[in-house]
Amino acid sequence: MSNLTLSFGVTAAMLLASAGSAATTTPAISDVEIGAQAAREMRMYPRYTIWDFVDLRVVEGNIELTGHVSQPFKKADLGRLMQRLPGVKSVTNRLEVLPLSRFDDDIRIAVARAIYRDPALSRYALQAIPPIHIIVKNGQVILQGVVHNELEKNVAGLRAATAGLSLGAVVNNLRVENAKERG
Protein backbone atom coordinates (compact mmCIF):
# COMPACT_ATOMS: atom_id res chain seq x y z
CA MET A 1 0.00 0.00 0.00
CA SER A 2 1.52 3.32 -1.00
CA ASN A 3 0.81 6.59 0.71
CA LEU A 4 1.54 9.82 -1.14
CA THR A 5 1.23 13.35 0.20
CA LEU A 6 1.92 16.31 -2.09
CA SER A 7 1.91 20.01 -1.53
CA PHE A 8 0.86 21.80 -4.66
CA GLY A 9 3.96 23.28 -6.17
CA VAL A 10 6.03 20.13 -5.64
CA THR A 11 8.63 19.94 -8.37
CA ALA A 12 8.35 17.38 -11.14
CA ALA A 13 11.73 15.97 -10.13
CA MET A 14 10.39 15.10 -6.68
CA LEU A 15 7.39 13.37 -8.24
CA LEU A 16 9.57 11.39 -10.64
CA ALA A 17 11.95 10.39 -7.85
CA SER A 18 9.09 9.04 -5.76
CA ALA A 19 7.64 7.15 -8.75
CA GLY A 20 10.48 4.65 -8.55
CA SER A 21 9.60 3.78 -4.98
CA ALA A 22 5.97 2.81 -5.65
CA ALA A 23 5.05 -0.71 -4.63
CA THR A 24 4.95 -3.28 -7.43
CA THR A 25 1.60 -4.64 -6.27
CA THR A 26 -0.27 -1.39 -6.88
CA PRO A 27 -3.39 -1.24 -9.06
CA ALA A 28 -3.23 -0.34 -12.78
CA ILE A 29 -2.87 3.35 -11.89
CA SER A 30 -0.64 3.89 -8.88
CA ASP A 31 -1.07 6.53 -6.19
CA VAL A 32 2.10 8.20 -7.49
CA GLU A 33 0.61 8.45 -10.98
CA ILE A 34 -2.67 9.76 -9.60
CA GLY A 35 -0.77 12.28 -7.46
CA ALA A 36 1.29 13.46 -10.43
CA GLN A 37 -1.83 13.89 -12.56
CA ALA A 38 -3.65 15.66 -9.71
CA ALA A 39 -0.71 18.08 -9.26
CA ARG A 40 -0.74 18.74 -13.01
CA GLU A 41 -4.48 19.48 -12.95
CA MET A 42 -3.95 21.89 -10.05
CA ARG A 43 -1.23 23.73 -11.99
CA MET A 44 -3.53 23.97 -15.00
CA TYR A 45 -6.53 25.22 -12.99
CA PRO A 46 -6.67 28.86 -14.12
CA ARG A 47 -8.10 30.23 -10.88
CA TYR A 48 -5.44 28.80 -8.55
CA THR A 49 -3.47 31.82 -7.25
CA ILE A 50 -1.02 32.86 -4.58
CA TRP A 51 -4.03 33.39 -2.29
CA ASP A 52 -4.75 29.62 -2.29
CA PHE A 53 -2.75 26.66 -1.02
CA VAL A 54 -3.80 23.04 -1.47
CA ASP A 55 -2.20 19.84 -0.20
CA LEU A 56 -2.97 16.57 -1.95
CA ARG A 57 -2.81 13.19 -0.29
CA VAL A 58 -3.39 10.00 -2.25
CA VAL A 59 -3.95 6.65 -0.53
CA GLU A 60 -5.13 3.62 -2.51
CA GLY A 61 -6.75 5.81 -5.16
CA ASN A 62 -8.47 8.06 -2.65
CA ILE A 63 -7.55 11.76 -2.84
CA GLU A 64 -7.75 14.02 0.17
CA LEU A 65 -7.61 17.79 -0.40
CA THR A 66 -6.65 20.04 2.50
CA GLY A 67 -5.60 23.66 2.70
CA HIS A 68 -7.23 26.99 1.94
CA VAL A 69 -8.91 28.61 -1.04
CA SER A 70 -9.91 32.24 -1.36
CA GLN A 71 -13.29 31.73 -3.06
CA PRO A 72 -16.10 29.21 -2.46
CA PHE A 73 -16.33 28.10 -6.11
CA LYS A 74 -12.67 27.01 -6.07
CA LYS A 75 -13.38 24.33 -3.47
CA ALA A 76 -16.12 22.81 -5.63
CA ASP A 77 -14.11 23.17 -8.86
CA LEU A 78 -11.03 21.45 -7.43
CA GLY A 79 -13.09 18.61 -5.99
CA ARG A 80 -14.71 18.01 -9.39
CA LEU A 81 -11.34 18.15 -11.18
CA MET A 82 -9.89 15.49 -8.89
CA GLN A 83 -12.94 13.22 -9.18
CA ARG A 84 -12.55 13.09 -12.99
CA LEU A 85 -8.99 11.73 -12.88
CA PRO A 86 -8.47 8.13 -14.02
CA GLY A 87 -7.99 5.71 -11.13
CA VAL A 88 -9.53 7.98 -8.48
CA LYS A 89 -11.91 6.07 -6.24
CA SER A 90 -13.04 8.97 -4.06
CA VAL A 91 -12.25 12.58 -3.17
CA THR A 92 -12.41 13.94 0.36
CA ASN A 93 -12.53 17.71 0.03
CA ARG A 94 -11.41 19.31 3.30
CA LEU A 95 -10.48 22.63 1.73
CA GLU A 96 -11.32 25.60 3.92
CA VAL A 97 -12.85 28.59 2.18
CA LEU A 98 -11.27 31.74 3.57
CA PRO A 99 -13.62 34.51 4.76
CA LEU A 100 -14.56 36.98 2.05
CA SER A 101 -13.26 40.21 3.55
CA ARG A 102 -12.05 43.50 2.11
CA PHE A 103 -9.72 43.84 5.13
CA ASP A 104 -8.13 40.44 4.39
CA ASP A 105 -7.86 41.36 0.71
CA ASP A 106 -5.96 44.53 1.63
CA ILE A 107 -3.56 42.47 3.78
CA ARG A 108 -3.04 39.97 0.95
CA ILE A 109 -2.08 42.73 -1.47
CA ALA A 110 0.21 44.50 1.02
CA VAL A 111 2.01 41.26 1.92
CA ALA A 112 2.36 40.20 -1.74
CA ARG A 113 3.85 43.58 -2.65
CA ALA A 114 6.26 43.44 0.29
CA ILE A 115 7.42 39.92 -0.57
CA TYR A 116 7.56 40.01 -4.35
CA ARG A 117 9.15 43.48 -4.54
CA ASP A 118 12.08 42.41 -2.36
CA PRO A 119 15.20 41.91 -4.52
CA ALA A 120 15.88 38.51 -2.92
CA LEU A 121 12.41 37.24 -3.88
CA SER A 122 11.36 39.25 -6.95
CA ARG A 123 12.37 36.49 -9.39
CA TYR A 124 9.56 34.35 -8.00
CA ALA A 125 6.99 36.93 -9.14
CA LEU A 126 7.81 36.10 -12.76
CA GLN A 127 6.48 32.54 -12.46
CA ALA A 128 2.95 31.69 -13.62
CA ILE A 129 2.10 30.54 -10.09
CA PRO A 130 4.68 32.00 -7.72
CA PRO A 131 5.75 29.46 -5.07
CA ILE A 132 5.09 31.68 -2.03
CA HIS A 133 1.38 31.51 -1.16
CA ILE A 134 -0.19 34.10 1.12
CA ILE A 135 -3.09 32.83 3.21
CA VAL A 136 -4.97 35.48 5.19
CA LYS A 137 -7.76 34.55 7.58
CA ASN A 138 -9.35 37.24 9.73
CA GLY A 139 -6.19 39.34 9.65
CA GLN A 140 -3.80 36.48 10.37
CA VAL A 141 -1.11 35.76 7.75
CA ILE A 142 0.27 32.31 6.91
CA LEU A 143 2.99 31.81 4.31
CA GLN A 144 2.91 28.46 2.48
CA GLY A 145 4.97 27.04 -0.35
CA VAL A 146 8.60 26.40 -1.24
CA VAL A 147 11.69 28.59 -1.51
CA HIS A 148 15.26 27.73 -2.50
CA ASN A 149 17.04 28.45 0.78
CA GLU A 150 16.71 29.44 4.42
CA LEU A 151 17.60 33.08 3.69
CA GLU A 152 14.67 33.43 1.28
CA LYS A 153 12.34 31.86 3.84
CA ASN A 154 13.47 34.34 6.49
CA VAL A 155 13.26 37.33 4.14
CA ALA A 156 9.71 36.36 3.11
CA GLY A 157 8.66 36.07 6.76
CA LEU A 158 10.23 39.42 7.62
CA ARG A 159 8.64 41.19 4.64
CA ALA A 160 5.23 39.73 5.47
CA ALA A 161 5.53 40.78 9.11
CA THR A 162 6.50 44.34 8.22
CA ALA A 163 3.79 44.84 5.58
CA GLY A 164 1.88 46.72 8.27
CA LEU A 165 -1.65 45.35 8.26
CA SER A 166 -1.46 41.92 9.88
CA LEU A 167 -3.23 41.45 13.21
CA GLY A 168 -0.58 39.14 14.65
CA ALA A 169 2.63 37.30 14.07
CA VAL A 170 3.10 35.83 10.62
CA VAL A 171 3.17 32.03 10.53
CA ASN A 172 5.98 31.09 8.17
CA ASN A 173 5.29 27.56 6.90
CA LEU A 174 7.53 27.95 3.86
CA ARG A 175 9.58 24.86 3.12
CA VAL A 176 13.18 25.03 1.94
CA GLU A 177 13.80 23.10 -1.27
CA ASN A 178 16.25 20.22 -0.75
CA ALA A 179 16.71 21.04 2.95
CA LYS A 180 17.65 17.39 3.68
CA GLU A 181 20.72 17.64 1.45
CA ARG A 182 22.08 20.58 3.45
CA GLY A 183 21.74 19.28 6.95
φ, ψ of residue 110 in degrees (nearest 5): -65, -45
| Domain shared by 82 and 137, yes or no | no
User: Is residue 4 within 8 Å of 57, Cβ to Cβ?
Assistant: yes
Q: In the predicted model, is pLDDT for residue 53 greater than 60?
A: yes
Q: What is the pLDDT of residues 144-174, one digit of tens each?
A: 999 999 999 999 999 999 987 667 789 999 9
Q: What is the pTM of this model?
A: 0.80
* Closest by Cα among 167, 172, 154, 137 to 51: 137
* Domain range for 161: 102-182
**Percent of the chain at pLDDT exceeding 70:** 81
Domain count, the chain: 2
CATH code at position 77: 3.30.70
* CATH code of the domain containing 117: 3.30.1340
Are 90 and 107 in the same domain? no
Per-residue pLDDT for 41 more than 90?
yes
What's the distance, CA 79 to chain centroid? 15
